Structure 1
Amino acid sequence: MRERQAVRHRRRTREFEAFVAGAAGRLLHAATLLTAEPREDNPRARRLLTAALSRTYAAWERLRGEDPYEHTRQELATRFARTAWHRRGPRTGDGVLARLTPQERLVLVLRLYEGVTEEQAAAQLGLSAQRVRAICTRAVAAMRSRPPAPAGPVPKAATPP
């Protein structure tokens, strides 16, 4: 009996490690977009992803037939919403989506980066599809209205000798 459990545990661990090897990069990028941290320095995103992956690992046996990526993405979004959605005060972060509110970032990442339908996002966030559409539209408009970042110093033109 114990040997069978050990074999099952090793198989579960190998399957999970293979899943993480294939999905962790994309999930970390999504978490980084959510936290609005720079890609090179994203400790909140890494903690968020670690917590979501640990929940996925804990539920691994019950996920038979379900998509583990979908499960982890839902955990990531839920954890982000719990920690940041209702936070007041100045916006933090200097990532590409830093100027958006946490709710706008969450909807934008789910809809545009992850390709989640309005209906799925609405159900996951406890909002109506119309509200998700309005938040997404507002977030996209805010991102489009952003002035372009300076490109840095302009190189001097070469002068003939």
Structure 2
Amino acid sequence: MLERQASRSARRAREFEAFVAGAAGRLLHAATLLTAEAPDDNPRARHLLTLALAHTYAHWDRLRGEDPYDRARRHLVDRFARASWHRYGGFGRARPHPAGTLARLTPQERLVLVLRLYEGVAEEPTAALLGLSADRVRAVCDRATATLLHPPRGPAAAGPAAAAP
């Protein structure tokens, strides 16, 4: 009995280690995009990844054919959404130290953009995961993409033509 349990635990640990070896890098990158931190300085993203992997490991035996990557990603997204809601009082724009390219987006825009474009999740599953309608997901994704492709212009610099009398 104890040998069987030890064997099962060892197999579980090997399976999870193989999963982490294959998925942790991509999940960390997704978390870094969500938090808009710099890739080399991403403590919030690493914390989100640790929580997602711990949750996945705790439920490893209950996956029953469910994709462990999908489970970890769902938990990562859920933790980010809840943390953003509590930290900023909703999906507002306030960020203490924007660093990454996606920093000018709201947390909701980052969530939708990362799920749709980086992770390749379709509109319907994204909408279900975030509790939004598919139309709302499409609108948020379009707005976020437009914001990134056409950043707001800064004040016009005085050129040589403006300086001439």
Q: Which residue of 2 aligns with 1:67?
A: 67
Normalising by structure 1, report the TM-score.
0.88
Structure 1 segments, 4+ long, off by >6 Å, are none
* Higher-helix-fraction structure: 2
Normalising by structure 2, report the TM-score.
0.86
Take 1:96 and 1:4, find their aligned partners in 2: how far apart are those partners? 50
Query: How far 1:77 sits from its partner (Å)?
Result: 0.4
Query: How far 1:75 sits from its partner (Å)?
Result: 0.6
Identify unmatched segments of 5+ residues in structure 2.
154-165
Query: How far 1:68 sits from its partner (Å)?
Result: 0.6
Amino acid at match of 1:90: A
Partner-residue secondary structure (3-state), 2:110: helix
Matched, 1:91 2:95: yes
Q: Which residue of 1 aligns with 2:6?
A: 6
Q: How many residues align?
A: 148
Q: Which residue of 2 aligns with 1:82?
A: 82
Matched, 1:17 2:17: yes
Identity value in percent: 70
Take 2:139 and 2:69, find their aligned partners in 1: how far apart are those partners? 26
Matched, 1:109 2:114: yes
* 1:112-159 CA distance string (max 9 Å, x none): 0000010000001111000010100100000011279xxxxxxxxxxx
Take 1:147 and 1:81, find their aligned partners in 2: how far apart are those partners? 26
Structure 1 vs Structure 2 CA RMSD: 1.5
Take 1:68 and 1:122, find their aligned partners in 2: how far apart are those partners? 20
Matched, 1:58 2:58: yes
Query: How far 1:22 sits from its partner (Å)?
Result: 0.6
